[in-house]
Amino acid sequence: MSRKVLGIDIRDNTLTAVLVQTGLRGNRLEAWERVSLPEVLSDSESRKDMDQAFSTVFSGMNLAGASCVVSLPGASVSYRNMRLPFKGAKKIRQIMPFELEPELPFSVDELVFDFHEIKNQDGYEGTEFIAVAAEREQIAEILSLLSSHRIEPEIITAGGFPMALCLGKFFDLPETCAFLDIDIQYCTLFLILSKEVRLVRSFTVDDTPENRNTDLFTQVRRTLLSIEGQGALSDVQPEVIFGAGPGVTLCMESGNPSEASEKMLGIPFRVVNMLEDAAEKVSRSFEADPSATEAGHAFAGALMETEGVACPNFRTGPFAPMRRWEEHKNALVKIVIALIFIVLLYSINILVENYSREKKIANLEQQMAAVFKSTFPNEELGNDPLARMRAAIEEKQETTLFPDANRQSILVIDILDEMSRKTGGHLDVELMRLVIDTDHFMITGNTDTFNSVDEIQGKIESSSLFQKVEIMNTGRSGPKIQFKLKVTFK
C-alpha cells in the first residue's frame, strides 16, 4: 500500500524537510527543502520566524495523509547508558526517570524520557539500553507549531539517531565504527558495534575555522578515552569514523578532516552522503542537486519510518499521539462501505429466503386443506388445518369398531369365524373382500349358482350376531357367480 512519510530535521540554525513516497516499487524522494532558523524558539518573534520556516519548507509539498518523523537538535537531548535487572518497556519507562534523577540538572517532571534497547553481548539477563531525555517544553513547542500546519508527528526523536540507525541497518560497516552527527556548535558521537548503536555522547565544538577540526577530534579522543573500563566497550577502537550534518561544511573549510582524524586518532574519517550512499533505498523524482546532501538527516528519519526501524520516541506519556483520522480515512471509508454492502446483501438474502419459505408454507397449507377436505368432507377446516386434521384423526381413532355396548365384544376375527361356520359345509363359496363400518359390513365373494347366493343370505341372517342381510349385487363372472352382501349388525 502506497503512503507518504515526511522527515523533518531541526538543527541549531537550519530546518530541513523531505517527503518520501513509499510503495511496492520502493521509496521515492518526492521533494525536499531547507531554510535557516532563529536560534531561540521560546521568544515570540523567534516562534513567528519558526512558523514561517515551516510554511516555507511545506509550501511545495503535498502532505495530505503523510506520516511524520521529527529529529530534535542534538544539543536538546541527553544520553546515558543504563542497565536494569528486568525486562519490559513499560516497566523500564516507569523506573528510568528515578534512576536518572540524581545525575540530571533538571527535575524529572521537566523532561520526557525514552530509551533504545541494546542487544546484550555479555549474557546480562536484564535490559541494557541507552536512555534519552528531552525538555517537555521544547516537545510541546514543536508539537504546537506543527499542529498549526495540520501535522501531527508520530515520532519525535534525537537528532542524528535516525542516521546512525540507518547506517547500522542498511550499510556494509566494519565490526566497530563511529558516526559523528556534526552541527555548527554541537556534535554527537554514536559508537556502533556489530551494526548496533552501543553508546551516544554529545559535546560542544569550536565553530571557528582555524580550530574546528582540531577541537572536534580532540573531543572525540576524550570521549573514547572516557569509556575505557566500561565493560564490553573498554577496548573498543573504531575502524572508521563517519560524519554528516550541517557542520561538515565548516570542517571542510577548516582543512581536511580526514587528515586531521588520521593524525590525531589514527582512524580514517569519511563523510556520509545518505542520499547517494543509500541509492538502493530511494529513487529521486527530480534531478540531482549537490546541496541535497544537506537533506540526509531528514531523509534518514523518513527512511527509518518506511523501513520500520525502531528508535527512541519522545511521543510518550502526555505527548503520546492519538490515531489520526486523516491517515486512515480512505481505508476506513472503504471498509465501512464494504461492510454496508455485505450487510445489505445479507439482508436481501434473508428477505429472499423468508419469502421463499413463506411461499412453501402457503403451498403446504393448501395441500393440507385439500387432504383434510377429501378425508373429512363434512368437517370445518378452521385456522389451523394441521391441528384440525390431527384432532379429526384422533376422534376417528377413539371411535371403536362397534360403538354400541352390546357389540363392544365382537371382533373382526369373530365375524370371520361366524361367516365361515354359516357358509361352510356343502356350499361352494369364496369370500374375496370384507369392508367393516360402524353398524354394518360389506362382503364380496364368488359361488357356483344364484341359488347358492340366496342360501348364503339365509344362513347369515340366521346368525345371532346379524340383524339383516341384503343382496346388493350379483352377476356372472366366468363359471362363477359374483355377489356383494350388506350385513347389518344387531
pTM of the model: 0.64
What is the model's pLDDT at position 405? Answer: 45
pLDDT tens, position by position, 187-209 = 999 999 988 999 999 999 987 87
The number of beta carbons lying within 10 Å of the beta carbon of residue 313 is 21
List b or e across 252-263, with b for residues whose CB sees 16 or more CB atoms inside 10 angstroms: eebeebbebbee
Say if residue 395 is exposed, middle or buried (CB neighbours under 10 Å; 0-12, 13-18, 19+).
exposed
Which cell numbers hold the place of 49? Answer: 520566524
Report the candidate in 289, 240, 297, 247 with the shortest Cα–Cα distance to residue 265. 240
Strand partners, 197: 192
What is the model's pLDDT at position 401? Answer: 46
Non-local (6+) Cβ contacts of 342 within 8 A are none
Give the integer Cα–Cα distance in Å for 390 and 126.
Answer: 80
User: In the chain, what is the straight-line distance between the N-terminal and C-terminal CA atoms, in Å?
Assistant: 97
E-state strands within 37-150: 67-72, 77-84, 111-118, 127-135
What is the model's pLDDT at position 267? Answer: 93
Give the integer Cα–Cα distance in Å for 5 and 153.
Answer: 10
Give the integer Cα–Cα distance in Å for 4 and 372.
Answer: 75
What is the model's pLDDT at position 400? Answer: 47
Residue with cell 345371532: 464
What region does 308 belong to: left with phi over 0, alpha with psi -120 to 50, or beta? left
Report the candidate in 138, 178, 200 with the shortest Cα–Cα distance to residue 265. 178
Q: Which amino acid is at 177?
A: C
C-alpha 202: how far from its chain's center? 42
Report the candidate in 246, 227, 250, 253 with the shortest Cα–Cα distance to residue 238. 227
- Whether the Cβ atoms of residue 131 and residue 273 lie closer than 8 Å to each other: no
Non-local (6+) Cβ contacts of 416 within 8 A are 434
Q: Which residues of the chain have pLDDT under 50?
A: 40-42, 400-408
- Whether the Cβ atoms of residue 131 and residue 118 lie closer than 8 Å to each other: no
- DSSP secondary structure string, 261-294? HHHHTS--EEE--HHHHTGGG-EESS---GGGGG
What is the model's pLDDT at position 79? Answer: 93
Non-local (6+) Cβ contacts of 249 within 8 A are none
**Cα atoms in the 13 Å half-sphere on the side-chain side of 401:** 14
What is the model's pLDDT at position 42? Answer: 46
Give the integer Cα–Cα distance in Å for 322 and 50.
Answer: 25
pLDDT tens, position by position, 381-437 = 666 766 777 777 777 666 544 444 444 457 788 888 888 888 877 778 888 888 888
Give the integer Cα–Cα distance in Å for 230 and 120.
Answer: 14
Report the candidate in 179, 224, 199, 71 with the shortest Cα–Cα distance to residue 129. 199
Give the integer Cα–Cα distance in Å for 197 and 130.
Answer: 9
Rounded alpha-carbon distances, angstroms, from residue 379 to 373, 383, 416, 437, 462:
8, 13, 33, 19, 39
Question: Which 8-state DSSP code applies to residue 122?
Answer: S
Q: What is the dihedral of CA 350, 353, 354, 360, to 10 degrees?
A: -170
Give the integer Cα–Cα distance in Å for 246 and 183.
Answer: 5
